[in-house]
Amino acid sequence: MNRNCVPHAKSVRHDIGLRRRYRAERRFRAYGALAICTGLFFLIALLWSVFSQGYTALWQTSITLPVRFEAAVIDPEGERDKKPQVLVTANYPLLVRNALAEKLGVSSEDRAALREVNRMVSPGVRVQLRKMMLDNPQLVDTTQTVTVLATADLDSVFKGQVDLAVPQTSRKISDRQVEWMHRLAADGSLYKAFNTGLFTFADSSRPETSGLGVALIGSLYMMLIVLVLSLPIGVAAAIYLEEYARKNRLTDLIEVNINNLAAVPSIVFGLLGLAVFINFFGLPRSASVVGGLVLTLMTLPTIIIATRSALRAVPPSIRAAALGLGASKTQMIFQHVLPLAVPGVLTGTIIGLAQALGETAPLLLIGMVAFVANYPVTPMDPATVLPVQIYMWANEAERAFVERTSGAIIVLLVFLAVMNVAAILLRRRFERRW
């Protein structure tokens, strides 16, 4: 076969182009390796792009200050006992500004400097201090140590994401503010803390006070609805089609339908949800219940297909044994076949849920893009979900929102990873070779 094997014989054979053919072989193989490398390269590029931009979102620059709750600022007229409204409308940011100015040694006459001091602290302190005050009105005229958030701009500078070589007129933070920042950082009152707000705050127009709180609750509600509806319905449909249904036109139609539904563009399900659940049944827009129903319809094919293959994998001997001992067909299926198929069913369910968790397009159409500032209490309340929150933040222009968006994507990917790993472990743990 090989030329080297017959060194002595004079080559009488025609050249069959082995060299050329081996070259083609190597080339072909290299193409394949190259294709795999391309795929892996993009996987790494994508993950790296998200993580490198997003991991900083897990920390947030905070400033700890002794703030004096001056009665002269909160309640200049001295009428808070009669009008509790005063405590709600008081100018709380002024308290923080004064505290910070005092710490930095800025004179209370220097208006320009005071404005710059004010721009270092997030306007979100108004809500924060108001809550402290309303919870405990005794705080008036006491000094409390308060940790407040820095503005997103200062946060970016402190994290080193802003090029300070740019002339200060064309950036948001002036040289003076940078110097103050370093002074505060040196004495330990300005520091990076773990960003709990990312997980607890509702949406906001300011990057530093916006978080995923509402989106996490909305996603949780939707996943629960999807699980509660699609698991029993999907399993029931799969059992019927796999075990009971006779092969006829109707079951054929159902099967084609299921396969087709798995491939229908997701946005079409959004149109269905809008027309049927919102306009026809009158369910509220932006509510997690509508989203849950739409995602249920999308998840059903996945669960049905997974359950059917799990049922098919249970060997006939189990069925024969059950029937032989006098079980009815229904008893055989529910007491013997289905329990053995549970790991497969659960794996399929988790994968279906993971798909539903990342789904965005249909939810845009049923009004989940609403700006929701309050926690939803029931699934009927307006809410948003993780991927839609990511979409909304991705459309914001500010630099700090890119960081938040990436951070939110990391949160989403972590959830998906956990679910998929759970599915894989489940499969490994309970997989049985018959």
Residues between 305 and 364 with contacts to other proteins, criterion CB under 8 A: 328-330, 354, 357-361, 364
Q: How far is the CB of 383 from other proteins (least distance, A)?
A: 16
| By the rule CB under 8 A, 414 interacts with other proteins | no
Helix, coil or strand: residue 422: helix
Helix, coil or strand: residue 121: strand
Of 194 and 244, the one with the shorter C-beta distance to other proteins is 244
Q: How far is the CB of 353 from other proteins (least distance, A)?
A: 12
For CA atoms 291, 295, 297, 298, give the dihedral sign: positive
Of 150 and 274, the one with the shorter C-beta distance to other proteins is 274
432 vs 281: CA distance, rounded Å: 45
Helix, coil or strand: residue 60: strand
Helix, coil or strand: residue 189: coil
What is the DSSP annotation of 195-250? -THHHH----SSGGG--SHHHHHHHHHHHHHHHHHHHHHHHHHHHIIIII--SSHH
260 vs 254: CA distance, rounded Å: 10
Applying the rule CB under 8 A, the residues between 133 and 152 that interact with other proteins are: none
Judge contact between 117 and 106, C-beta under 8 A.
Answer: yes
DSSP-assigned letter for residue 277: I
Work out which of 6, 46, 313, 321 binds other proteins, going by CB under 8 A: 46
Q: State the alpha helices, DSSP H only, in 273-336.
A: 288-313, 316-324, 329-332
Segment lying near other proteins (by CB under 8 A), choices 171-179, 199-207, 227-235, 318-326 = 227-235
Helix, coil or strand: residue 8: coil
Work out which of 73, 220, 413, 422 binds other proteins, going by CB under 8 A: 413
351 vs 416: CA distance, rounded Å: 9
Q: Among residues 211, 272, 209, 252, which one has the least CA distance to residue 62?
A: 209
| By the rule CB under 8 A, 224 interacts with other proteins | no
Tell me the β-bridge partners of 147.
64
Applying the rule CB under 8 A, the residues between 6 and 25 that interact with other proteins are: 21-22, 24-25
Of 86 and 422, the one with the shorter C-beta distance to other proteins is 422
Q: How far is the CB of 269 from other proteins (least distance, A)?
A: 8
Applying the rule CB under 8 A, the residues between 57 and 76 that interact with other proteins are: none
Q: How far is the CB of 354 from other proteins (least distance, A)?
A: 7
| By the rule CB under 8 A, 409 interacts with other proteins | yes
Segment lying near other proteins (by CB under 8 A), choices 188-196, 339-347, 376-384, 390-398 = 390-398
Helix, coil or strand: residue 122: coil
Segment lying near other proteins (by CB under 8 A), choices 124-132, 210-218, 314-322, 403-411 = 403-411
Judge contact between 299 and 258, C-beta under 8 A.
Answer: no
| By the rule CB under 8 A, 55 interacts with other proteins | no
Of 340 and 361, the one with the shorter C-beta distance to other proteins is 361
| By the rule CB under 8 A, 383 interacts with other proteins | no
Of 86 and 261, the one with the shorter C-beta distance to other proteins is 261
DSSP-assigned letter for residue 314: S
Work out which of 6, 43, 224, 313 binds other proteins, going by CB under 8 A: 43
Interface pattern 273-312 for other proteins (x via CB under 8 A)? -xxx--xx-x--------------x--xx--x--------
What is the DSSP annotation of 140-181? TT-EEEEEEEBPHHHHHHHTT-S-TTS-GGGSSS-HHHHHHH
Q: How far is the CB of 15 from other proteins (least distance, A)?
A: 15
Contacts of 71 (CB under 8 A, 6+ apart): 78, 140, 141
| By the rule CB under 8 A, 164 interacts with other proteins | no
Applying the rule CB under 8 A, the residues between 237 and 276 that interact with other proteins are: 237, 239-241, 244-245, 253-254, 256-261, 263-272, 274-276
Helix, coil or strand: residue 67: strand
Q: How far is the CB of 389 from other proteins (least distance, A)?
A: 10
Of 153 and 359, the one with the shorter C-beta distance to other proteins is 359
Q: How far is the CB of 371 from other proteins (least distance, A)?
A: 12
Show the CA angle centred on residue 391, arms to residues 349 and 172, nearest 5°: 145
Of 140 and 327, the one with the shorter C-beta distance to other proteins is 327
| Count of residues touching other proteins (by CB under 8 A) | 86
